[in-house]
Amino acid sequence: MTTFKGTQEAVVVGYFADATSSAAKAFLEAAASDDSYSFAITSSEEVKSHLSLTSDSVVIVKDYDERQSVLAVSAATTDTEVLEFIHKNGLPLLIEFSESTGKLIFNGPYKVHFITFLDDRASYFTETSNLVRDLAKEYRGKVLFIYMPASKTQILEYFGISASDLPKSVLADMRGEGMKKFNLAGDISADNIKTFIDEFFAGKVKPSLKSAEPSAKDDSDPVKVIVGKTFADKVVKTNKNVLLEFYAPWCGHCKTLAPKWDEVGEIFENSDQVVIAKIDAVANEIDHPGVSVSGFPTIYFFPADDKSSPVKYEGKREVQDIVKFLKENGISQSASSSDEL
């Protein structure tokens, strides 16, 4: 059985009067392509009666929610339809995030997640989790509702949430490149959540972006520091080209690049054409067309005349290669730079 938490388990059963029928074959093809669930096939009349079936069916038998979900099948049923049914109805209405459920959550068909961060020791836990679970019924097949335990401190940190903020809900949109996060404002109530989700799908909600606070020191070195709050002014609105490194403080490759990036910054420090900059992509988030950061370091060139079409730098991370790339994009070195590069 597939185990979600404690005694929450599910198994997918295919009942077919004729185990060689086309519907049975579609079921077996679906089972062969999905290792997330345990599958069983039968032609037993006893099983048919026990599950209260009237015809060939695919049944998800569960220890949670409505206990079983049934898909009546026919000769026209495809393995794709069987898988869509399983993926839509197999997961709990409110699934707890854990090591065992992570694959089901992120590799499944749901690309919009409504995540509620809860402390199971708090007095609000039962009432709030039940409220969210009830709402999940209305959005089944469209939004996956997830309970994130307060013990997942690294995930709380990733979302910019502290224990004192709980309970807290965030909608994560993974339909495009990367993940966009939208924080639920106000209380965790049925009306507020429904309005929030409906307005999200209507395109009326803006992403919530983390940002460090700007500092007077951000512009003091040859390599300028960008934070989420200054990205628009210092990258998008400036009339200069910008070469921006997205890094993570813990990234070994980023640490190797750092002295080389500083050298590039020194070379172009006095340039009136380009700004060499960096942004801590863990502490800061941006929402800009054409920018997708899935690993570190990631480098983008924002042309002065078209900031909406950034170019991802794919070359070697050596000073001479980065300088060559800038020259190829029409950037000349500053007067103080070395002529040897």
Which of 29, 57, 89 terminates a domain? The answer is 89
121 and 152 part of one domain: yes
Domain holding 151: CATH number? 3.40.30.10
Residue identified by tokens 């009546």 is: 72
Strands 38-42 and 8-15: parallel
Q: Do you find a cis peptide bond into 92, omega within 30 degrees of 0?
A: no
168 and 132 part of one domain: yes
- Cα→Cα distances 42→57, 68, 165, 277, 281, Å: 10, 17, 50, 63, 52
Contact 286, 252 (CB under 8 A): no
Contact 170, 115 (CB under 8 A): yes
122 and 51 part of one domain: no
The rounded distance, in Å, linking the Cα atoms of 90 and 83 is: 10
Confidence at 178, pLDDT banded by 50, 70, 90:
confident
151 and 224 part of one domain: no
261 and 161 part of one domain: no
Residue 4: what pLDDT?
65
Would you say residue 228 lies in a domain?
yes
81 and 103 part of one domain: no
The rounded distance, in Å, linking the Cα atoms of 308 and 296 is: 22
Contact 134, 116 (CB under 8 A): no
Q: What does the pLDDT look like over 326-340, one tens digit per residue?
A: 999 988 765 444 444
Q: What does the pLDDT look like over 249-280, one tens digit per residue?
A: 999 999 999 999 999 999 999 999 999 999 99
Confidence at 341, pLDDT banded by 50, 70, 90:
very low
Would you say residue 113 lies in a domain?
yes
Which of 89, 114, 129 terminates a domain? The answer is 89
The rounded distance, in Å, linking the Cα atoms of 13 and 292 is: 41
Q: What does the pLDDT look like over 17-48, one tens digit per residue?
A: 999 999 999 999 999 999 888 999 999 999 99
Identify the H or E element spanning 266: helix 252-267
Q: Looking at 103-107, 168-172, 288-292, 310-314, which range is the least confident one?
A: 103-107
Would you say residue 206 lies in a domain?
no
Contact 144, 110 (CB under 8 A): yes
172 and 274 part of one domain: no
Mean pLDDT of 96-123: 91
Which of 29, 54, 89 terminates a domain? The answer is 89
Residue 157: what pLDDT?
86
80 and 160 part of one domain: no
Confidence at 14, pLDDT banded by 50, 70, 90:
very high
Would you say residue 209 lies in a domain?
no
Mean pLDDT of 305-316: 96
6 and 83 part of one domain: yes
Task: Characterise 141 by phi-psi region: left (phi > 0), alpha (psi -120 to 50), beta (else).
Answer: left
Answer whether residue 6 shows pLDDT above 70: no
What's the domain range around 59? 2-89
Q: What does the pLDDT look like over 284-295, one tens digit per residue?
A: 999 999 998 989
Contact 40, 11 (CB under 8 A): yes
154 and 125 part of one domain: yes
Q: What does the pLDDT look like over 186-243, one tens digit per residue?
A: 999 999 999 999 999 999 999 999 899 999 999 999 999 999 999 999 999 999 999 9
pTM > 0.85:
no
The rounded distance, in Å, linking the Cα atoms of 50 and 155 is: 43
Would you say residue 257 lies in a domain?
yes
Would you say residue 207 lies in a domain?
no
| Count of structural domains, the chain | 3
The rounded distance, in Å, linking the Cα atoms of 168 and 184 is: 8
Would you say residue 211 lies in a domain?
no
Would you say residue 306 lies in a domain?
yes
263 and 308 part of one domain: yes
Calculate what percentage of the chain has a pLDDT beyond 90: 82
136-175: string of b/e by CB count within 10 Å (b at 16+)? beebbeebbbbbbebeeeeebeebbbeeeebbbbbbbbee
Task: Characterise 69 by phi-psi region: left (phi > 0), alpha (psi -120 to 50), beta (else).
Answer: beta
User: In 3D, which of 323, 317, 224, 328 has the Cα closest to residue 277?
Assistant: 224
Residue 331: what pLDDT?
87
Residue 1: what pLDDT?
60
85 and 103 part of one domain: no
